[in-house]
Amino acid sequence: MTTPVLDSRLPAVGTTVFTVMSALAAEHGAVNLGQGFPDFECDPKLLDLVNDAMRSGHNQYPAMAGVPALRAAIASKISQLYGHDYDPLTEITVTAGATQALTTAILCAVHPGDEVIVIEPAYDSYLPAITLAGGVPVTVPMQVDDRGYSVPWDRVAAAVTPRTRLIMVNTPHNPTGTILRRADLEALAAIVEDTDILILSDEVYEHMVYDGERHESVSRHPVLAERAFVVSSFGKTYHVTGWKVGYVAAPVALTAEFRKVHQYNVFSVNTPMQHGIASYIVDPRPYLDLSAFYQTKRDLFRTGLAGTRFTLLPADGTYFQCVRYDGISAMPEAEFAQWLTSEIKVAAIPVSAFYSQPRESGIVRFCFAKRDETLRLALERLASL
């Protein structure tokens, strides 16, 4: 017997660069500053609350849209931080991580032939989800210079056509570490106002913004909020990326369509973890203190890198630091990242992996969501270059 030939829905997709580089790091005993996850544990209190929830019998299916107490807590947090009131019953949905939230939003909003504007470099789940929905990705590259990356809103506006259904934004931005500011939201609002274009805003790093800047959530802006799916992640906020718990906030009409898809691709999300997080989120200090926590790590890492031959780009948010390496090598980004991992024993991610078409900038991305001793070991090795 022969296996039937399967016509791939994603013929251009292989194994993600994060998996490839993490495997290479393990093979060579490298410090893994590639894949974006902490190497330290979460607050033991959060573990205790999840354990209490399991032992209290919260182990069966929860409400499809999420545990009511957690949805209420999410709505309260958004209201207090960003001044927008979402109804927890009809406008907040708990998801199996942010990637599921992003994919579900695309699947519910994008029909075959619809165009989706994606600003590159972009997180690698965006384009496959658009393809699965039958949509047409329209990519707009960010501008980059010594001041860092920025969105060319005139080019975004020029990319809009009658077929544009959705514009995807990400702030704070992975992989570049940039943030959108008030002027950026105003520029985006000017593009979509008086249209039927929707916004999908990936804000999983919302609590990692530095140097006194504030996170400009799309939820803050009335014109944008009325047409937006806003996505965030407890995995990023509470150092539990493996739990895969996130949420989406959206107006009632958008949420109704989102939940139609959500109920059939996951139905519901891990029950005891929802209850544990619902109890934990009552104290705002863990997320309010997160920017200061990561800024200390960022500053330690940047200070160490300043003594190397890398050129630092700004890191205004997220837990990522992008660097130019043209003072070290002329290798293409993927080749340089592999060499850095195998020979210098520090893993990084080539920024070229975040583009749909080959685009070399001579930039790689490091993750500084690591213990201080991990960062110091990496810096010691990088200083040898």
pTM: 0.96
Given a cut of 90, whether residue 172 has pLDDT beyond it is: yes
The band of 194, judged by pLDDT with boundaries at 50, 70 and 90, is very high
Mean pLDDT of 113-136: 97
Name the residue among 108, 100, 147, 110 with its Cα closest to residue 130: 110
Mean pLDDT of 222-230: 97
Rounded Cα distance between 334 and 381, Å, is 19
Given a cut of 90, whether residue 15 has pLDDT beyond it is: no
Q: Which backbone phi and psi does 358 adopt, to 5 degrees?
A: -50, 130
Phi-psi region of 373 (alpha: psi -120 to 50; beta: other; left: phi over 0): alpha
**Residues 177 and 316 sit within 8 Å (Cβ to Cβ):** yes
The band of 286, judged by pLDDT with boundaries at 50, 70 and 90, is very high
pLDDT for residue 35: 87
Residue 254 makes CB contacts below 8 A (sequence gap 6+) with 108, 109, 198, 227, 228, 229
Mean pLDDT of 120-142: 97
CA distances from 34 to 30, 349, 368, 371 (A): 10, 5, 9, 14
pLDDT digits (tens, 9 = 90+) for 42-59: 999 999 999 999 999 999
CA distances from 246 to 11, 19, 99, 240, 342 (A): 28, 21, 9, 11, 34
CATH classification number, 17-41+288-382, choose in 3.40.710.10, 3.90.1150.10, 3.40.50.720, 3.30.470.30: 3.90.1150.10
Q: What is the distance of C-alpha 380 from the center of its chain?
A: 29
pLDDT for residue 230: 98
Given a cut of 90, whether residue 211 has pLDDT beyond it is: yes
The structural domains of the chain, with segments of one domain joined by +, span 17-41+288-382, 45-286
Classify burial at 330, counting beta carbons within 10 Å of its beta carbon; exposed 0-12, middle 13-18, buried 19 or more.
exposed
Q: 45-286 architecture in CATH?
A: 3-Layer(aba) Sandwich (3.40)
Given a cut of 90, whether residue 299 has pLDDT beyond it is: yes
pLDDT for residue 356: 94
Given a cut of 90, whether residue 350 has pLDDT beyond it is: yes
Phi-psi region of 57 (alpha: psi -120 to 50; beta: other; left: phi over 0): left
- Eight-class DSSP state of 340: I
Which of 10-19, 220-229, 353-362: highest mean pLDDT? 220-229
12-26, 179-193, 216-230, 232-246: least confidently modelled range: 12-26
**Residues 104 and 265 sit within 8 Å (Cβ to Cβ):** yes
Phi-psi region of 75 (alpha: psi -120 to 50; beta: other; left: phi over 0): alpha
**Residues 150 and 143 sit within 8 Å (Cβ to Cβ):** yes
pLDDT for residue 14: 81
Across all residues in the chain, what is the average pLDDT? 96
Rounded Cα distance between 365 and 310, Å, is 11
**Residues 200 and 229 sit within 8 Å (Cβ to Cβ):** yes
Longest dimension (CA), the chain: 65
Rounded Cα distance between 319 and 204, Å, is 11
pLDDT digits (tens, 9 = 90+) for 98-120: 999 999 999 999 999 999 999 99
pLDDT digits (tens, 9 = 90+) for 325-347: 999 999 999 999 999 999 999 99
pLDDT for residue 320: 98
Rounded Cα distance between 77 and 71, Å, is 10
Q: What residues pair up with 167 in beta bridges, in sequence order?
A: 117, 199
CA distances from 149 to 120, 139, 172, 363 (A): 10, 16, 12, 12
Rounded Cα distance between 347 and 277, Å, is 32
pLDDT for residue 147: 85
CA neighbours closer than 13 Å in the CB half-sphere of residue 98: 23
Mean pLDDT of 183-194: 97
CA distances from 134 to 59, 105, 107, 129, 131 (A): 37, 14, 9, 9, 5
pLDDT for residue 310: 97
- Per the listing, tokens 């080019």 go with 155
**Residues 133 and 165 sit within 8 Å (Cβ to Cβ):** no
